[in-house]
Structure 1
């Protein structure tokens, strides 16, 4: 048992279960104007007590072991819940009033022990995006080339030296230094160094980089739109495999989409850069590590994540989830359509200012198209704004074509299925023929075709994000059906791209064995190795 003196709260495994109602009525209570702000009710009780000149001490009488989250999905749900709670604290009056009444050093302590850690996580991720979009502007505008030429003529290498030297900070050595110092004081510096090396061998850096993305996403989204909620994590045994569909539902918007965006930025920066190769690697290697971690950490930490029989079942389950019809009463775990609606439900209740900010943030995806269309040979170095406007004809044509196929599907697929399939074949052949003819007439190279894909794919995603904000205004018009079809195609494409390297690694049995041995001790490894035989016997019976 634990007792939180000053708040008169009985703790159960470190969390308050029972509050003294009469005492807290005189201390501001713990209920707020929002039904979701009490996601961190213990923190707000402490805030109220301190603001009324209370004094809180924490006395621990008996220390007991707690059933903690040990699976990645459980940990991510818990971190999402805590990040939501910290964002609600950031928006509350309580933390504002505390900060106004603290002296400077107490204010720093309050910042570090409450919302500061999550705010720093958000700033760290935003800093990566600001840096890469700045580099994107430099390479697409030609400013980087001009700066490097001028620096070469004047024999100045200060810019590259500064950027290359800061890459050592991206290793995370400075952020890991306080931990090493603390372990050194407790165990000795030799033990601290060996523990640090062992953590890297156990891919701890991959886990913490992935957790950084979880904290930043849920903290930033709740700051902007609200929608904090309790997320049950459970205490189940985690030697069992989480399906690809479950991982995609949980991490698609928080990690996978952001990782693909980082990869797009890095590829474009690599294609159009003018700097030295060694300088380029030193500047971007940490971002590549972050992007790959956000993409594949859920499968690396997933038991039997690279077992071939599990991969086959995951692919069937993924296709079934993507193709199932959604609607009223259909849970997000059963259909992509229901999950897509639930994932974007927070935008329905967002205030106008937050929607405007969301639209402004989505405008970054149009930078790709605006910059890249002027690098195609078809533009002939023409910088006229009309070239950019003509590129929108392609996007409008794609939306119209999707609308045409969708109408044909609704009217012909049930009674005239052969005619419908013939129309789909003709449409596909017409698109492919037009694309080939355009490539031949304009003499587009493979590089130009890659640039076209890199230009228009982010634009489509940006449009999807914007129409989600505007959904209450356009949901009942004819344009909404092709938008939903395009959104389905984007998610199916992202899932397929993500699934392919996992399937390739699962095809090699040694990868699954290495993963099991690295992540689990002998008891868990043995359980994972005999589990397929137990399942096989059960099926035969």
Structure 2
């Protein structure tokens, strides 16, 4: 009972079952060792399609969010020496938290950029930029800041650090030429867009589990990755709509945030953020465009037969039925399950109240 007792039987804690079992094993101590055996079975495979991979990551992320608040994590954090703790953190929960931080870093910085542009150079406001001495505008000050962040050397080091692990692994296994070809293929097949979207999904499910809970098992299946995923559903032979598609899967995860980021970019341009800046903003604009395209279009880019005209016609028909069939019951049910239900409960109320209070406090400070 001192190791968690019946609470360890909670099904949501075991969504990442191998990780949680390892945490319990380490806590038992006593010099125990684990014998690991691999079994290979004929025809045992997994679908590596876009949606299946992200469904698998959503399950792992939800399980990691549940494990973050367990007593096992608290004990490991208190008892492990610093090197072992850092190894445990970055190999497990740190990975999921960093995906959330990376995903939200650029939108938050863009919002700060917009606030600085709107704040201007009024010396009466202590929070504004002091431009009177230098004669620089807020746009030029921010352009210099972005140019420093996206300087050539820093950007090259960051990109190399991201690509180095798989590059050296393939190099050791298959040789240098194969490693270079593999890296070029990944870039040509738009893997950066895939990984940007994947980071957003991982961060969303991890933080959503911390805020609202409600983790569930996600069946990934063993289907073929060549099957096309519809937009909102499929119209059956009887003329009825069977809901389920890309928009329903990712609307609250990436589409809404992608649209908000696109709106921020437009507001930055309207507020004069691009005036007289020259090539200083190339780096940040490329990053913003990559993130926006990934969050809004990645599911459609990697969806087989997405741009076939006949499939478009079926998607349009299903989209109309999604809103009009049975008095709009389909979209009402989807909205209730995905938007309203996860935000109920005491924990969700406290966190949302704190978030709104922080925004109100910032607005009061500005005035």
Q: Which of the five TM-score ranges fits, normalised by the shorter chain?
A: 0.7 to 0.9
Change (3 A) 1:100 1:71: same
**Offset from partner CA, 1:171-199 (integer Å, 9 cap, x none):** 75132233323333433444322321111
SS in structure 2 opposite 1:244? coil
Once residues 105 and 38 of structure 1 are traced to their aligned partners in structure 2, the CA distance between those partners, rounded to angstroms, is: 26
Contiguous gaps of at least 5 residues in structure 2: 123-127, 233-244
1:52 pairs with 2:49: no
Contact 1:214-1:255 at 8 Å conserved across structures: yes
Match of 2:67 in 1: 89
Superposed counterparts of 1:287-436, under 5 Å: 287-325=288-326, 335-344=330-339, 345-351=341-347, 352-360=349-357
3-state SS in 1 of match to 2:222 = coil
- Whether contact under 8 Å (1:89, 1:95) holds in the other structure is yes
- Structure 1 stretch displaced more, 269-278 or 239-248: 269-278
- Aligned-residue offset at 1:39: 2.3
Please tell me whether the aligned partners of residues 263 and 291 of structure 1 are also in contact (alpha carbons under 8 angstroms). yes
Structure 1 SS opposite 2:36: strand
Q: Which runs of 5+ in 1 are unaligned?
A: 1-24, 371-382, 386-541
Residue 236 of structure 1 aligns to a residue in which SS?
coil
2:212–2:344 contact (8 Å) kept in structure 1 = no
Structure 1 residues 150 and 320, CA gap change in structure 2 (3 angstroms)? farther
C-alpha distance 363-213 of structure 1, shift in aligned 2 (>3 A):
farther
How do 1:217-236 and structure 2 match up within 5 A? 217-236=204-223
1:240 and 2:227 correspond: yes
Measured after TM superposition, the shift of residue 203 of structure 1 is 1.3
Map of 1:201 onto structure 2:
188
Deviations 1:101-130 (A, max 9, x none): 111111111012211111110111221122
Answer whether contact 2:15 2:63 (CA < 8 A) is retained: yes
Q: CA 1:32–1:153 in structure 2 vs 1: closer, same or farther (change >3 Å)?
A: closer
- TM-fit CA distance, 1:45: 2.6
- Computed over aligned residues only, the root mean square deviation of the Cα atoms, in angstroms, reads 3.2
1:166 pairs, out of 135, 149, 157, with 149
Bigger Rg, structure 1 or 2: 1
What aligned pairs does 1:210-221 form with structure 2 within 5 A after superposition? 210-221=197-208
How far residue 301 of structure 1 moved from its aligned partner, in angstroms, is 0.9
TM-score scaled by length of structure 1: 0.56
Partner of 2:269: 270
The question of whether the paired residues in 1 share the 8 Å contact of 2:13 and 2:66 is answered with yes
Q: Distance in 2 between matches of 1:153 and 1:241?
A: 53
